[in-house]
Structures are given as C-alpha cells and as structure tokens.
A and B are shown apart, each in its own frame.
Chain A
Amino acid sequence: MHNIDSINHVKGESVYIDDIPQQEGTLYGLVFDSTIAHGKIKKLDFREALMLPGVIKIFSAKDIPGNNQLGAIIQDEPLFAEKEVHFVGQAIALIVAENELIARKAKQLISIEFEELPVITDERKAYEKKQFIFPPRTFKLGNTGKAFANCDYLIEGTVKSGAQEHLYIETQGAYVVPVENGCLKVYSSTQGPTSVQKIVAGVLGVAMHKIEVDVRRLGGGFGGKEDQATPLAAMAALAAYLLNKPVKLIYHRFDDIRMTGKRHPYSSDYKIGLDKDLKIIAFEVDYLQNAGAAADLSPAIMERTLFHSTNCYFIPNVRAKAYSCKTNLPPNTAYRGFGAPQAMFVIESAIAKAAETIGVDTQKIQETNLLNENDEFPYGQIAKDVKSMPSWLQLNDKEGFTEIKEEISLFNKQHGHLKQGMALMPIAFGISFTNTSMNQARALVHIYQDGSIGISTGAIEMGQGVNTKLTQVAAKVFSVNEKRIKLETTNTSRVANTSPTAASSGADLNGKALEIACNALLGRLIISASEILGVEKSEISILNEKVLVINKTVGLEWEELVLKTYLKRINLSEKGHYYTPVIHFDKTKEKGHPFAYHVYGTALVKATVDCIRGTYALEKVNIVHDFGKSINKDIDKGQIEGALLQGIGWVTMEEILYDEKGILMSNALSSYKVPDIFSVPKEVNIELLETEGTDMAIMKSKAIGEPPFMYGIAAYFAIQDAIKAYNPNYKLKFDAPITYEKVLLGLYEGE
C-alpha cells in the first residue's frame, strides 16, 4: 500500500503549516535573537522599531504572564533571554507586525548592547572546566580493570563525530488562533503536540485544557521538531493570547539553521582490549557530549548513547561513562538515532583501530564478537531473538565478502588513480523510549453510522508513513477496505497526554492502542451481528466487509451491520490505551530491561575514491535487515533508503562549522551540503531477513525509523579503506565527517 498522502503530495495539495488558510487580521512574528554566543544584555531598546508603521508590538521576557521556561526535562532554558544570552540565535524578543517584511525591517531598528563573556564551543574545553548540564552517568558490566590485565592487545584512541543539521525542507513554524474564553488553537509543526501544549500553557500561566494543539503533518522532522518546534508555538501563542489576534511564525531557513540545535557532536576517549583470538574482553569509553547551552533532550540522548556503547557486540567487561558538556551553542537536540549513532561510531572506530594495529581485517574482529542469544548488554538486558549473526551470514551469502574484496583488489591493481574500499556495519538498536513512562499511547476510533471510520491517535505523520500503517492496522482488524478509513489530524483535544512521535516507536505504540480500540469495537459489532442473526457470537466473523457465520456469507454487510448496531444504541466509538509491557529500568543501578526488543541488520558499503581530486562515490550498499513481519514493505524500504542516506551524509559531506565566537559558518544550504541525487550510492540492495518478528511490535512489524541510519557509518570506513589502497602510509582517522578535504589530505599524507 502506498503512502495515503501520496496523491495529495504529488499534486501539491497537502497542507503544511504555512499553507493553512489564514484568518482575517493574521499578524506575523519574527524572532529578535542574540548575535553573540555569551554575554550580558546591557541595553535593549525597542522604541525606534515600534515607531515603524505596521509594527504591532514587541514581546520580551517581561511580557510573559506565566513561566519564561522551555525546558522539558531540566528547567534551564528561558523562552526569551532576560539578562544573559548563552548562544547565537537565542530568542530575546518577538516582533509582531502586519507582515513579515515590516517585521524584518523592525528587527534592524532594535538596539541592543551586550557585555561579552567568554565563549566555549568545544566539548573538551567545557569538560576541562567541568561545565556540565547534569551529572555524568556510568554503565558497567564485569570488571574492566581486571580484564585489561588479561588482554593480548590493548588499544586506546579518541573519536570525534560532528553535528548534523536536520534540514527538514519545511522549516519550523506555528500558527496560533485565539478562540473564546482565552483559549488558543495552536497549529504547530511539531513531533510532540503534548509538549507544545504543556509549555504553551506554562508560558501563558493557563491550564493545559485551554490549549488545543493540532497537527496535520510535518514537512520532515527527523527529531528536529521533537522539542524545538515548541519555542515557535510558545512565542506565537504568547502574542496571540496577549493581542487576541491570530499570529503566524514561520522561520526563514537562515533563522532556522542558525537558531535551532543539531545532532550532538561528541568527542570520546576509549580503551579496548582483545585476546589473541580477537575476542573483545574489555571496553572503556568516556563520551563527551556537546549539549549546547541548555539541556533540551540531551539527558535522554546521552542515556541512549550509553545503551548503545557496544552496538551489536558482546563485550563481557564494559565501563561506559558519559558527560553532557555545556557549551555556547544552540541546545543540541534529537536527531534520528538519538545518541546511538555517536556511540556506534566509537565502538566501530575502536574495532577499526584495533584491526589496523593488530594487522587483521576489521571484519574479522566484528564477526568474532557479534552478539549471541542470551548475551548480556551492559545495562543488564538479556539479548533475545538476536539476529546479528544471521544477518551477517545472509549478507555474506548474497554476495561474498571475500569475493567483493578480491574484486576490489583486482580493480585497485588495474586502476591508477581510482581506488576502491569496503566496510561492514552490523547494528543492534533498542526499541522503546528509554524513559519507561513515555511508552504509552492512545487511539480514538469512531465508526460513523454510514460505516466510515475516523481515527485519531497521538502519532505525527512526518513522511515516515505512520498514518498509512495505522490505516492498515484498522483495515485489518475490521477487515474493511482502507478507503473507509480516515486518519484525522493529531489533536490534543481528541487524544491527550501523547508521547512525541520519536524513538522509532510511533507505529508500535499508537498502532497497538489503535488495535486495542478496534478490537473492542469489533467485539461489539460481532455481538450485535449475533443478535441480529440469532447465532452464537463465536460463529461470527467479518471478512472483506461481509459478516460470516461459520465462514459463510449471510447477506449482512459492513454498512448494514454498523447502521443496525447504531440503532441498537451501541457505542460505536472507542478509545484504546496501550503501554509497553515488560520494560523497566532502574537509574540508580543503571540496570534493567529498557527495550521492548532490538532491531538487527548488517550493511556492506563499497566506495570508490578519485585519488587525484580527493572525491569519492559510493558504488554499492548491500543490506540485510530484520523487518520482523513488515506490514508495509514499500514504506519500510523507503525508510531504510532515506535513513541510510542521512547516515551517509552525517559521516561524509555534512559538516557543521562554528567559529571560535560560536557563530555558525555553515549557515545556509549554500554552505551546509546534504546529499543530492548525485550523491546516492549507485546501487542499494535491501534484503529481508526472514524472522518471526515480535509481538511487542505492531503486527510483528518491527520499528524502522532510526535503525538503518547507522548503516551509513560503513561509508566512513569504506572510504578510508580506499584511501589506504592508494596511500599505504595512511593512518586511519576517527573524525567524522570524512569530507573531500580530509580524503585529499589523507591521500597525500606523508608525501
């Protein structure tokens, strides 16, 4: 089944925030933000700006009736800076004007003076100064100290990975319309409507029920709209509430990229110990997370880094410690993978460095240490239904690693300035919010008396196809045509207390809640049918919109059954509530069973480097992936291809650069490059690993959003493998992304 939105998408008829027809009198907001990364506000003067015709009002911290606070996990981030600024792009005021052009002109007329304070942009510097957002955490298994003594090989190193801009093509935005009694309707391009509702209510000092958040769809999210859509909604809501006028606030791309957080850069130090059989005996790692100037979601992201410190390898002795370092950058935030890619990049780097040092193939160490059934993760969960080795072996069966290496070696002999390389990337990604309480969802289902069905859930559609999967779930439970089903907007007045659509869990949590609601309704319909037909309810089923009695049609069809049931005064609406069973985690011990299940798979990437120009192309990516029993292969394949390329982008061309003053230099699409159609691997072959799936996943179809992102990491190592083929003196680097610049310098390193 194709994405249910695809027809409207190709016709340009899908509605995003900026396309909602505006009410008469709508005003436009523009954020006045800090131009320095750290300092005290000495003077702030709006007078001249307010004199510009068309400027309605300029709001700042003192206008906030409630709490000037955005922090969801830790209350450390004001909506508007009051006395101090902590990053370039921090909001200081909101200009509201009759149109955007007037607002932009007014922005030039605001006068502000700062007293500049020292700026830290680097996580190591923040670490040295002990500037942490919250205390460090440590995960332990076994005893690394003792284990290192018994290792044949000990390798230490440092690893860096860079920031990544989400670059959803639809920038952040909100449109807020006042309704009666001081209530607001908030249209927000957010992955977390409840979070928007809660923060808006807090800023205004009103009860949550006064704020209705409504989301049709997002033009891309990738985590960037999990927490950071909230300030826009809060600012627009503040203005709409105080002016009693509709207010729209859409970021210009330049504002969006400057003001919003990215994937966290990490610097890490590790020590890895192996025995002579290449078994990894012990692994110690310190992660320094660059959180930016406020907590945002950093505590949860840091936690997921710790959960994924060993990727899909079994290591009996582990000590992983993570520090969230406070710097003067925009607060970094959720991004597909949520701290796990950074952790996996470290363990893969450690393995690659070990292989280079020992003089064996990296794949040999990877394969030797793959996770097996009943192995223990460092956080205490026992691995079940492990698919590491099966996916590795199936990938090798598909196209043998040895043959590919021979092919590459032959190619390299035959070509002077083109060299190829390859790398493998096995993954294990835990599914569930690591904060156990967030693993809950609700769905509201109405069957209308004409037999059509309306569904509301807490899931946000952002292109990942969750609404399509939810349609399939309802169609399957009721056994009706998908055309009968309409997915409503995600709205906090219909479904309350939602968790953000994140952690790859949107389809699982909301789908399970929907399944529960649909099954309850189906039960009522079957009872109703048994009464109408005068037969036992155990003999009744519904198939393809027909009521069957002992598997035979009886002339009673869906529409008639629904209408008759309604006339019998039976409730045709139902709310389903689901919470993930089994999972738990004790933060005082850092042990538990945090994940409903893991997603496994292995990828192979083959790259070609142009050794004159220092450029590269990806020839091929082969993937064997554990989908479980995919309910929508089209969508799941699309998620793999999309996540893969984002992962490739992260480790190859996407380079976020700040100067020492904390000013973003890669501040536009002209200087921050994401993959285009010519950057794509020439071949992407995705194969299904035949597995049973798990009952913890929606209809046994495993979560898909994030895990394939990490396949992209193989591109980093494949490119270096090719560099080594040209320059045998080259020493592996562990500093992503591997830009063309790094490649060329590497090719001629030691010249």
Chain B
Amino acid sequence: MIEFILNNKLIRTNEPSGAILLDFIRKNEKLYGTKIGCREGDCGACTVLVGSLNGNKVLYQSVVSCLSPLGNIAGKHVVTIEGINNGALSPIQSAFIKNNATQCGFCTPGFIVSLTGFSLSGKKAESAALRSVAGNICRCTGYKSIERAVSIIVEKLRQKSPINSLQWLIKHNYIPSYFSTIPNRLKNLNAVAQASDNETIIGGGTDIYVQKADEVSESKLGFIKNQNQDPQIFIDNGKCIIDTACSVTDLMQSKVLHDIIPGLRKHLTLVSSEQIRNMATVAGNFVNASPIGDLSIIFLALNAELIISNKGNKRNVLLKNFFKGYKQIDLGKNEIIERIQFSIPAKGFKYNFEKVSKRTHLDIASVNTAICISLEDEIINDVMISAGGISAIPLLLHKSADFLKGKELSVETIKKASEIINSEISPISDIRGSSKYKQLLLRQLFYQHFIELFPKLFDIKKLTTHA
C-alpha cells in the first residue's frame, strides 16, 4: 500500500511501487492535464510538483512524472496542473495568456507547473526562473513569449513575503488554499513504500525508466530515497561525506560542498534539467556507468571513494576502480552504494568542470572533463584530471597527470600534457560526435581548464598554433 496526496485528495493504492506516476495520474485518476510527450524526461510535458515534509513545512520540487515510480512519492504531496487550478487564473497562467506564450498548448501545463514550483521555492532571480523551465520543451513559440511571461512572473514574485510565503502565494492566487493543510496531512502518512525481498534498488529512476520502464513498472522495488529520510552531506575527519540518496539538487544546495568547491553549483547547472536534478541521485549516476556521466567525471577528479554495503558488511572502493569496462561496475548482486566520500584537498586547490554537448542544457555530453589541481610556488603539486566520452568508462587521465606533477605551469608543459592525453584516450565515433571531434574537444576543454583557472598565464592563442 502506497499513500500520498494527489492535489487535494488522499491516495492509498495497491499499485506496484514501481508503477509510473504519470500513468497513475492519467489512467487511474483520469487527470489529463499532465501530458505524455516523450517518456524519457526530455520534454517536461508531464512535469508535476512533489512536496516533501520538512519540519512543519512542505518543500516542493518539480519532477518528470514519466520517470517517477510511485515508491518515490510515498508520503508526499503530488501536484498536477489540476491541483493548481483554482477558479480564477493564477498570475502565472495569466502571464502566459497575456504574452501569448501558448500556441498548441500541449507543453503549456508543464511550463505552468514548473513555474509554480519556482514560485514555491525561495528563489527570486530571473535566471533561476528560466532554469526552472529548462526541462520544458516547446516546439511552437520559439520561447520569446515564454521569456516575456517569465520576466513578468519574476517581477510579481519579488513582492512575495519571505516570512509567510505560502500564505502570500495563496492570497495572491498562485496556489489554492488547500496547500496550507498539506503539512499536517502529510504527517499522518506512511512515507515508506512497502519493501519486499529480492528487490531491485533504485535511486531517482531517471535512467532505468528510460531503459526498461515496462520491466520495472511491474516490479516491487527498493528505494534508496525513502530508506534514508534525510540524506546528509557533511564533513568528518577531513572527508566530505555524501549520502547516496542525495539528488543533484541536494549537491547544489549543500553549503558544505559549496564551501569546498564554490564553482560546483554553476557546474551542476550543466547536468540535465531542474526536474531531473531533483530526482537523479549521485549513486545512480555512478551505477549507470555511462562513460559520460557528469557526476562520475566531477567526482573522479576528487578521487572519490564509494562505501558499498551488503547487509551490514561494508567495503570501500575508489571511484576510479569502480568502473571495470563499458557499463561494467564493481558492485555485487546484493550490494548497494551507501555513501560517497572524498578527502578535502589541501587549501589553495583549484577545481574546474567543462562539458560540451550537442545542446548546452539538458543534454548528454560529447566530452566532459574535470580537474582538481594544487600548486606550490608555481609548481604543480598535485593534479587529477578526469574525462568522459573518450573511452569505454569515465576515465582518470593518469599519464598526463603524472607528467604534470612537479612541473612548472607553462604553455609548453600544458601543450605537452595534451599530447600525452591523446595517448590515454580512445574515443569512438557515435551519435555524440566523431572520434576526431572528441579528441580535439578534449584538448580544448583541457586547455580551458587552465585558461579558466589561471587566466593570467594562459589564453587560447598561446595554447594553439593559431596566432
């Protein structure tokens, strides 16, 4: 039995925990405002909000319901467009009409839900509002009218009171009044989907539901997200420790991580869309073992370590040793990744992440790479460089790093290192680019690390033969 609140209605269902939220909404509940566009989280037409209890408040995040198993919404508040409609139009809906930001209308409910999620967040910036719809594709409008609507919405929300923002939103008709009853109602719900033996363990589901939705939707699954109510990111003994159930959004919101790597938030905006970031877990990105997994690349350069458990037995594996071959990982049948940890590098280290994909946002990288480097008196003391899309696994570039260690930072050294990189990689031609392109792109992104981190020492002209 899974319990949750759908809009203003308590749901208690015996559907399998792997059943897809989108189908539940449309088929069981006959709510047709949530649209089916792609079933792979890439269009946003099925966006809903999921509210989780946090103390006496409910925190809302947008998710794509096509990749959401019911198990992950147990004990939560799910809001579809019907749960936002409230007699008169909300200011978000009105802004869309006034700016002609809807044409065929099929993607529109997804946009409205995403922006309602933005209104419920503490964020105010226009860039954050735009990011909230980065996972919503519109094929008709060309987005300019949507941009105009968003900027009016942002302007209006500036007046939102930070103290009692939920009441303010209700008063100004952004959301119906029943939202204020949700915290108390959620407290009474069972937040854990019933577990069973022999389970497949899933995180956010954002990959497995693309690959084999039918298979998992009939299964009983285990959910790392609701075994672990409050995933933590903390420092212990010089190590930064991340609970496996943390989503990408949790990483972005972590002050601990931000203090260690101030640029990380910006880097993580290149990972998928807001909806997917709200769902996808760090562990899931590792287990998926994609040779271009962004989080794998980001954490490889930090020489992260996984803590893997099997019914109480624990072992540690370095992330760089976790990937055995194409889509092969060092994880036994009953093992799960419990935590990820990395040693906080010595003071003064620098970190950068680069990614180029066919489309800058909500896309899978052609090549991605991260670097973690520390210097002592202009001499490279330590350096880790990771790269994806250029090998069967997310790769740590050992040879070039070994070459760089102990060398002075100079154009010649960096150019030489880039030649060594070529001997370490074996890119193949595929949908994300030709091998020739990936090789050139990695060189460029490798150069970009140094241009970004040491702008006084490097520019692209010095590094390439173009003068």
Chain A contact residues, CB within 8 Å of chain B: 2-3, 5-16, 18-19, 21, 101, 104-105, 166-171, 217-222, 250, 252-254, 416-417, 462-465, 611-615, 634-635, 637-638, 641-646, 653, 655, 657, 665-666, 668-671, 673-680, 684, 726-727, 739-741, 744-745, 748, 751
Q: Are B440 and A748 interface neighbours, CB within 8 A?
A: yes
B437 partner residues in chain A, CB cutoff 8 A: 741, 744-745
Complex Cα distance, B275 from A273, in Å, reads 54
B217 partner residues in chain A, CB cutoff 8 A: 101
Complex Cα distance, B367 from A744, in Å, reads 13
**Sample of 12 more A-B contacts, CB < 8 Å, known A10-B102, A416-B459, A670-B363:** A2-B97, A9-B96, A9-B102, A219-B104, A221-B104, A612-B445, A615-B360, A669-B43, A670-B364, A673-B358, A674-B137, A676-B362
B147 partner residues in chain A, CB cutoff 8 A: 677, 680
Q: Are A751 and B465 interface neighbours, CB within 8 A?
A: yes
Q: Are A167 and B134 interface neighbours, CB within 8 A?
A: no
The chain B residue sitting closest to A748, CB to CB, is B440
Check: B227 CB closer than 8 A to any chain A CB.
no
The chain A residue sitting closest to B363, CB to CB, is A673
A252 partner residues in chain B, CB cutoff 8 A: 39
Q: Are A170 and B106 interface neighbours, CB within 8 A?
A: yes
Main secondary structure of the interface of B (DSSP, over half): loop
Of the residues A11, A221, A644, A679, contact of B93 by C-beta under 8 Å: A11
Complex Cα distance, B147 from A637, in Å, reads 14
Complex Cα distance, B32 from A613, in Å, reads 42
Q: Are A169 and B97 interface neighbours, CB within 8 A?
A: no
A628–chain B nearest beta-carbon distance, Å? 20
Mark contacts of B346-386 with chain A using CB atoms, 8 A cut-off: 1 yes-contact digit, 0 otherwise: 00000000101111111110100000000000000000000
A641 partner residues in chain B, CB cutoff 8 A: 141-145
B40 partner residues in chain A, CB cutoff 8 A: 253, 668-670
The chain A residue sitting closest to B150, CB to CB, is A677
The chain B residue sitting closest to A669, CB to CB, is B42
Q: Which range holds the interface residue count of chain B?
A: 35 or more
Which of B185-193, B255-263, B416-424, B428-436 forms contacts with chain A? Answer: B428-436
Complex Cα distance, B235 from A279, in Å, reads 73
Q: Are A642 and B460 interface neighbours, CB within 8 A?
A: no
Complex Cα distance, B444 from A149, in Å, reads 48
* Residues 134-169 of B at the A interface (beta carbon under 8 Å): 134, 136-147
A746–chain B nearest beta-carbon distance, Å? 11
The chain A residue sitting closest to B444, CB to CB, is A612
Check: B100 CB closer than 8 A to any chain A CB.
yes
A666 partner residues in chain B, CB cutoff 8 A: 431
Query: A252-B39, A464-B103, A642-B103 known; A417 and B358 CB under 8 Å?
Result: no
B431 partner residues in chain A, CB cutoff 8 A: 657, 665-666, 671
Complex Cα distance, B360 from A552, in Å, reads 63
Of the residues B97, B142, B448, B466, contact of A613 by C-beta under 8 Å: B448
Complex Cα distance, B40 from A254, in Å, reads 9
CB pairs A–B below 8 angstroms (25 shown)? A3-B100, A10-B108, A11-B33, A12-B35, A169-B139, A219-B105, A221-B104, A253-B40, A613-B441, A614-B441, A641-B142, A642-B139, A642-B141, A657-B431, A671-B364, A673-B357, A675-B143, A676-B359, A676-B362, A684-B144, A739-B358, A741-B366, A744-B444, A748-B466, A751-B465
Complex Cα distance, B460 from A727, in Å, reads 13
B451–chain A nearest beta-carbon distance, Å? 7
Q: Which 9 A-B pairs have the closest CB atoms?
A: A12-B33, A463-B104, A219-B106, A9-B105, A669-B42, A12-B81, A463-B103, A12-B109, A645-B142
Of the listed residues A3, A10, A655, A665, the one surrounded by the most CB atoms of chain B closer than 10 A to its CB is A10
Query: A417-B460, A680-B144 known; A170 and B104 CB under 8 Å?
Result: yes
Query: A417-B460, A669-B137, A680-B143 known; A744 and B441 CB under 8 Å?
Result: yes
Q: Are B210 and A653 interface neighbours, CB within 8 A?
A: no
Chain B contact residues, CB within 8 Å of chain A: 30, 32-40, 42-43, 45, 80-82, 85, 89, 92-93, 96-98, 100, 102-109, 112, 130, 133-134, 136-147, 210, 214, 217-218, 354, 356-364, 366, 430-434, 436-437, 440-441, 444-445, 447-448, 451, 459-461, 464-466
B434 partner residues in chain A, CB cutoff 8 A: 741
Q: Are B461 and A416 interface neighbours, CB within 8 A?
A: yes
Q: Are A12 and B112 interface neighbours, CB within 8 A?
A: yes
Complex Cα distance, B136 from A677, in Å, reads 8
Complex Cα distance, B444 from A7, in Å, reads 48
Complex Cα distance, B89 from A166, in Å, reads 31
Of the listed residues B103, B109, B364, B448, the one surrounded by the most CB atoms of chain A closer than 10 A to its CB is B103
A166 partner residues in chain B, CB cutoff 8 A: 139
Complex Cα distance, B108 from A14, in Å, reads 10
A680 partner residues in chain B, CB cutoff 8 A: 142-144, 147
B34 partner residues in chain A, CB cutoff 8 A: 12
Q: Are B440 and A105 interface neighbours, CB within 8 A?
A: no
A675 partner residues in chain B, CB cutoff 8 A: 142-143, 359
B96 partner residues in chain A, CB cutoff 8 A: 6, 9-10
Q: Are A13 and B33 interface neighbours, CB within 8 A?
A: yes
The chain B residue sitting closest to A678, CB to CB, is B361
Q: Are B37 and A613 interface neighbours, CB within 8 A?
A: no
Q: Are A15 and B32 interface neighbours, CB within 8 A?
A: yes
Of the listed residues B214, B364, B431, B447, the one surrounded by the most CB atoms of chain A closer than 10 A to its CB is B431
B28–chain A nearest beta-carbon distance, Å? 12
A650–chain B nearest beta-carbon distance, Å? 12
Of the residues B35, B102, B358, contact of A6 by C-beta under 8 Å: B102
Q: Are B444 and A638 interface neighbours, CB within 8 A?
A: no
Q: Are A3 and B102 interface neighbours, CB within 8 A?
A: yes
Q: Are A6 and B97 interface neighbours, CB within 8 A?
A: yes
Q: Are A676 and B134 interface neighbours, CB within 8 A?
A: yes
Complex Cα distance, B437 from A491, in Å, reads 52
A643 partner residues in chain B, CB cutoff 8 A: 142
B136 partner residues in chain A, CB cutoff 8 A: 677
A684 partner residues in chain B, CB cutoff 8 A: 142, 144
B133 partner residues in chain A, CB cutoff 8 A: 677
Complex Cα distance, B103 from A463, in Å, reads 4
Q: Are A678 and B139 interface neighbours, CB within 8 A?
A: no
Q: Are B356 and A740 interface neighbours, CB within 8 A?
A: yes
Complex Cα distance, B355 from A740, in Å, reads 12
Complex Cα distance, B433 from A671, in Å, reads 11
Q: Are A668 and B81 interface neighbours, CB within 8 A?
A: no
Of the listed residues A8, A13, A221, A615, the one surrounded by the most CB atoms of chain B closer than 10 A to its CB is A13
B461–chain A nearest beta-carbon distance, Å? 6
Query: A104-B214, A253-B39, A669-B42 known; A463 and B105 CB under 8 Å?
Result: yes
Complex Cα distance, B107 from A219, in Å, reads 8
B38 partner residues in chain A, CB cutoff 8 A: 253, 668-669
Query: A9-B108, A615-B356 known; A2 and B98 CB under 8 Å?
Result: yes
Of the listed residues A2, A12, A16, A417, the one surrounded by the most CB atoms of chain B closer than 10 A to its CB is A12
Of the residues B81, B92, B137, contact of A169 by C-beta under 8 Å: B137
Q: Are B358 and A655 interface neighbours, CB within 8 A?
A: yes
A745 partner residues in chain B, CB cutoff 8 A: 436-437, 440
Query: A8-B105, A678-B130 known; A612 and B142 CB under 8 Å?
Result: no
B145 partner residues in chain A, CB cutoff 8 A: 638, 641
A404–chain B nearest beta-carbon distance, Å? 20
A254 partner residues in chain B, CB cutoff 8 A: 39
Q: Are B81 and A676 interface neighbours, CB within 8 A?
A: no
Q: Are B142 and A642 interface neighbours, CB within 8 A?
A: yes
Complex Cα distance, B359 from A675, in Å, reads 8
Complex Cα distance, B461 from A393, in Å, reads 39
Q: Are B440 and A744 interface neighbours, CB within 8 A?
A: yes
Q: Are B103 and A14 interface neighbours, CB within 8 A?
A: no
Q: Are B358 and A220 interface neighbours, CB within 8 A?
A: no
A583–chain B nearest beta-carbon distance, Å? 29
Q: Are B100 and A638 interface neighbours, CB within 8 A?
A: yes
Complex Cα distance, B36 from A254, in Å, reads 12
A219–chain B nearest beta-carbon distance, Å? 3
B216–chain A nearest beta-carbon distance, Å? 12
Of the residues A8, A638, A644, A669, contact of B103 by C-beta under 8 Å: A638
Q: Are B107 and A169 interface neighbours, CB within 8 A?
A: yes
Of the residues B361, B432, B440, B444, contact of A676 by C-beta under 8 Å: B361
